[in-house]
Amino acid sequence: MEILRYSAFTDRPDGGNPAGVVLDARGLDDTDMLRIAAEVGFSETAFVFAAQDPGHTHEVRYFSPRAEVDFCGHATVATAVALAERSAPGTLVFRTNAGRIDVATAAEGPALRATLTSVPTSSQPVALPHLESALKALRWSDADLDPAFPAHVAFAGNHHLMLAAASRQRLADLDYDFEALHALSRAQDWTTVHLFHRDTDTLFHARDPFPLGGVVEDPATGAAAAAFGGYLRVIGRAPHNSPVTVLQGDDMGRPSRLTVTTAASDPRVSVSGQAVPMP
């Protein structure tokens, strides 16, 4: 068994979000995969199995160091690029616990780009008691929120709390109660808390605490980016005919760039980025 290491949503190995990739996971059970994910130590490791029916190309499961995750965007991009490097760029279909994920791969300069299309998204306002608990765990106040972006829980294969920071400085100054946010995320089934700040209508900065996976913060979160696209569409802030760029990881020293595309007629969201092997 070979464990590959890729960094997703970047064109350099020291940027983006690292993911483990096991392209042949035959014979591994849940205990094996959880152990391997913990040994790799990245926020997620993807495990690829042969498809069980001809309508899907690959069955993919994702494990954090603590638990299985139904869907992981950056590990999907990393896995698609790893597969394309070993065959040829083209269209892949992943069967995940969250549902079918189509992934298109293409050459872009010296690297490969992968574009995943999520399951249908949804978004709804978060309950006030849960919002208050999240703000307390984050050590934020109501004044730290941007009122133009209501707090929601958005879904694109898993759930993410959406909170808009009123300033870039508030986003940069992240110091939260890990155990409190972990307990809240576990109780509410939030995979991450997607904290973001609007720069322009098509450019956002983001940070994603991920205590549920045993990780303080993700430097690039494709699943949350897909949910974010669905959220923007629901609240009427998705730009017409223009993709949204999400810059993440800058405050961690691992700059990442995610491109999010929505369409008014399609409940799904596309998230695109490059991925490169890590030494």
Give yes or no for residue 267 having a pLDDT over 70.
yes
* Residue 51: predicted pLDDT: 67
Task: For the chain, list the domains and their CATH numbers.
Answer: 4-117 (3.10.310.10), 122-265 (3.10.310.10)
Q: Alpha helix (H) ranges present in the chain?
A: 30-40, 73-86, 128-138, 168-172, 178-188, 222-234
Q: How high does pLDDT run on average in the chain?
A: 95
Helix, coil or strand: residue 202: coil
Give the list of residues 6+ apart from residue 113 with CB closer than 8 angstroms, or none: 105, 106, 107, 272, 273, 274
* Residue 57: predicted pLDDT: 81
| 109: confidence class by pLDDT, cuts 50, 70, 90 | confident
Contact 273, 6 (CB under 8 A): no
* Residue 50: predicted pLDDT: 77
User: Using one digit for the tens of pLDDT, what is the confidence trace for 208-248?
Assistant: 999 998 889 999 999 999 999 999 999 999 998 899 999 99
Determine the average pLDDT of the residues in 66-82: 96
Give the list of residues 6+ apart from residue 96 with CB closer than 8 angstroms, or none: 59, 60, 61, 62, 70, 71, 76, 157
| 126: confidence class by pLDDT, cuts 50, 70, 90 | very high
Determine the average pLDDT of the residues in 40-44: 96
The whole-model pTM stands at: 0.95
User: Using one digit for the tens of pLDDT, what is the confidence trace for 179-192?
Assistant: 999 999 999 999 99
Contact 257, 23 (CB under 8 A): no
Buried b (16+ CB within 10 A) or exposed e, 89-127: beebebbbebeebebbbeeeeebbbbbbbbbebbbeebe
User: Using one digit for the tens of pLDDT, what is the confidence trace for 44-64?
Assistant: 999 999 766 555 589 999 999
